[in-house]
Structure 1
Amino acid sequence: MYLRNPIALATLSLSIVAALPAAAQSSTEAPDLRGDRVTIGAGVASLPDYEGSDDSQIAPLGVVIGQVSGIEFWTRGTDLYVDLIPDAPGPGTHFEAGPIAGVNLNRTGKVDDPQVAALGKLDTAVEVGGFVGISRQGVLTSDYDRLSARIAVTADVAGAHDSYVVSPQVAYSTPLSRQTYVSLNLSADYVGKGYGRTYYDVTPAGSAASGLSPYAVAGSGFKSVTAGLFGIQSLSGDLLHGLGLGAGVAYTRILGDYADSPIVADAGSADQWLAAVGLSYTF
């Protein structure tokens, strides 16, 4: 099961995080967003069997987002982000920076494709690092829409791929009402040589076992780009409190040497579609 860090797995988290300021829409007095709050979510996602697979499977999805004493935190796929820079609520420019910790579960479990399965299971990568970002609230439609840009850098510390991932991310989010919020997200992954060699190479021994042609990624480079559209609908009438329904879809295109790997070109596909739906509760 492919559960590294695709945007589709972040459907609920990105939607809910973006939705928090939206409750002020159509209200005469903006709420105080400086207080502690926590959102939890659970759902299901349809996602590729592995990174580059043309088979899909249904997987559970869990999300936690919150703010405690001005420190915000959220999950994005299997990564946890913690923003250590408190920001005042309301329109204006906001900055963020903090640590990231997560796991990469690509090809660590059951793989349906018999050729890729014959290459063997991989170890779980433990990826840690940090991020910096900037956002502007109050851009086009109201005081509550937001345009943000972020760059995240993580490295494997468990020796699974023994490399790094750099992920630039851009998002635009806007409220449609006090109950509805939508978000458009774009991101890319630039990976080191070790990442490509681990997940996209076919060694001579692997070729003999799987029937796939031998292949070696030349070096580091942009592995993929992703675009996603997500939304959340409050079921309790207020995005800041109670039950919500989140859903979204994302498309990922695997690029360059990574798309040319037989693991993708012969056994899978460079076109990756992901979808998710779930319920959230904010208190």
Structure 2
Amino acid sequence: MKSMLARRTVRATILVCSLAVAPGVFAQDNAGPPDNDDTLTIGAAAAIVPTYEGSDDYRIIPGPAIRGKISGHNFYTRQSAFYFDLIPEKPGNNLDLSLGVAAGTRFSRTRGIKDPQVKLLGKLDTPIELGGFVGIAKTGVITSDYDTIGVRVSYLRDVANAHDSYVIQPAFEYGTPLSQSLYVGFDVSADYVGSSYARYYYSVSPAGTAASGLATYDLDKGWKNISTTVLANYALSGDLRTGWSVFATGSYSKMLGEFKRSPIVRDAGSANQWFGALGVAYTF
């Protein structure tokens, strides 16, 4: 019973994390009841996000999401990507290994640009990213039989010839239910990006300088940012394993190194990135 409560509580609240559009919002793969019943959670959020990675302008966008399990295989949306775990979860096992596939996109500088100089650089194409992830998570570690701690690394590569590069994201994740109706958690992650990604989103060509007035700038692959996220989820039904829940989540991300020195960030935006979301979810 403890194992079931822990895992189903985590499953319900992980959706909350995936609804948020901020980087680093965690989505663990050990979520789900030990009997491997098929499950489904759907939800929606209103999120406030920068207009592009490195912007100091913000906008409000919707954040629909879905998460579930079929035949022991967990699947979920996270930001604008979909993840499917190829390793079925073993009933009653508190140590969970994950290895899966992922597909998604990103919308930085593809629409909604407010800064006049960055807007003059022109809109960018939307990438289609394919890849995978690997991770390990343990339930019942620090505070109780119900808390979960995990590490995960994901890899996504553009196959649509937009940024034509890759993003590697390691993450550390922790969450715990404080009661059957309240869950809290946090996540720390970082993004390492390839050279083409770095130049596509953060360089300024001589032609771009002539058009926008931003200084010419070029950069290479490296650590783009580090992020931390906190969240709280409250079950209106009194039980996080089923029914309606409401949540709030917030994230702070810091641009790093050559990325924060890009004129697109330093002069037209900010190295300090804030994210927030409020939403509702329903677990069947």
Give the TM-score taking structure 2 as reference length. Answer: 0.89
Name 1:83's counterpart in structure 2: 85
Name 1:9's counterpart in structure 2: 21
Name 1:272's counterpart in structure 2: 273
SS of equivalent to 1:9: coil
Summarize the Cα distance change of 1:199–1:212 in structure 2 as closer, same or farther, 3 Å threshold: same
Q: Judge conservation of contact 1:8–1:228 (CA < 8 Å) in 2.
A: no
Name 1:50's counterpart in structure 2: 52
CA distance in 1, matches of 2:45, 2:68: 18
Name 2:7's counterpart in structure 1: none
Q: Judge conservation of contact 1:18–1:173 (CA < 8 Å) in 2.
A: no
CA distance in 1, matches of 2:270, 2:89: 42
SS of equivalent to 2:211: helix
1:48-68 CA-partner distances (Å, limit 9, x unpaired): 011100011111101101001
CA distance in 1, matches of 2:63, 2:174: 23
CA distance in 1, matches of 2:111, 2:26: 26
1:77-122 CA-partner distances (Å, limit 9, x unpaired): 0011111112224463210011010001111112110000000000
- Corresponding residue pairs, total: 266
CA distance in 2, matches of 1:241, 1:111: 39
CA distance in 2, matches of 1:115, 1:89: 55
SS of equivalent to 2:190: strand
Summarize the Cα distance change of 1:41–1:7 in structure 2 as closer, same or farther, 3 Å threshold: closer
Using the aligned pairs only, state the percent identity.
47
Name 2:256's counterpart in structure 1: 255
Name 1:98's counterpart in structure 2: 100
CA distance in 1, matches of 2:179, 2:93: 17
Summarize the Cα distance change of 1:14–1:166 in structure 2 as closer, same or farther, 3 Å threshold: closer
1:232-268 CA-partner distances (Å, limit 9, x unpaired): 1101111111100011110000000110000000000
Give the aligned residue type for 1:98.
G
SS of equivalent to 2:21: helix
Do structure 1's residue 229 and structure 2's residue 230 form an aligned pair? yes
Q: Judge conservation of contact 1:152–1:166 (CA < 8 Å) in 2.
A: yes
- Deviation at residue 41 of structure 1 after TM alignment: 0.7
SS of equivalent to 2:241: coil
Q: Judge conservation of contact 1:43–1:279 (CA < 8 Å) in 2.
A: yes
**Equivalences for residues 105-184 of structure 1 within 5 A:** 105-184=107-186
Structure 2 counterpart of 1:40, from 39, 42, 46: 42
CA distance in 1, matches of 2:161, 2:106: 12
Q: Judge conservation of contact 2:30–2:96 (CA < 8 Å) in 1.
A: no
Give the aligned residue type for 1:185.
D
Name 2:71's counterpart in structure 1: 69
Summarize the Cα distance change of 1:58–1:42 in structure 2 as closer, same or farther, 3 Å threshold: same
Name 2:11's counterpart in structure 1: none
Name 2:207's counterpart in structure 1: 205
Q: Judge conservation of contact 1:162–1:195 (CA < 8 Å) in 2.
A: yes
SS of equivalent to 2:208: helix
CA distance in 1, matches of 2:30, 2:73: 17
Summarize the Cα distance change of 1:238–1:14 in structure 2 as closer, same or farther, 3 Å threshold: farther
RMSD: 1.9
CA distance in 2, matches of 1:19, 1:91: 9
CA distance in 1, matches of 2:26, 2:236: 18
Task: State the 4+ residue runs in structure 1 displaced beyond 6 angstroms.
Answer: none
Give unmatched runs, 5+ long, in structure 1. 1-5, 22-30
Name 1:281's counterpart in structure 2: 282
CA distance in 1, matches of 2:91, 2:257: 42
Q: Judge conservation of contact 1:91–1:144 (CA < 8 Å) in 2.
A: no
- Deviation at residue 20 of structure 1 after TM alignment: 5.6
Give unmatched runs, 5+ long, in structure 2. 1-17
Name 1:214's counterpart in structure 2: 216
Give the TM-score taking structure 1 as reference length. Answer: 0.90
CA distance in 1, matches of 2:19, 2:71: 28
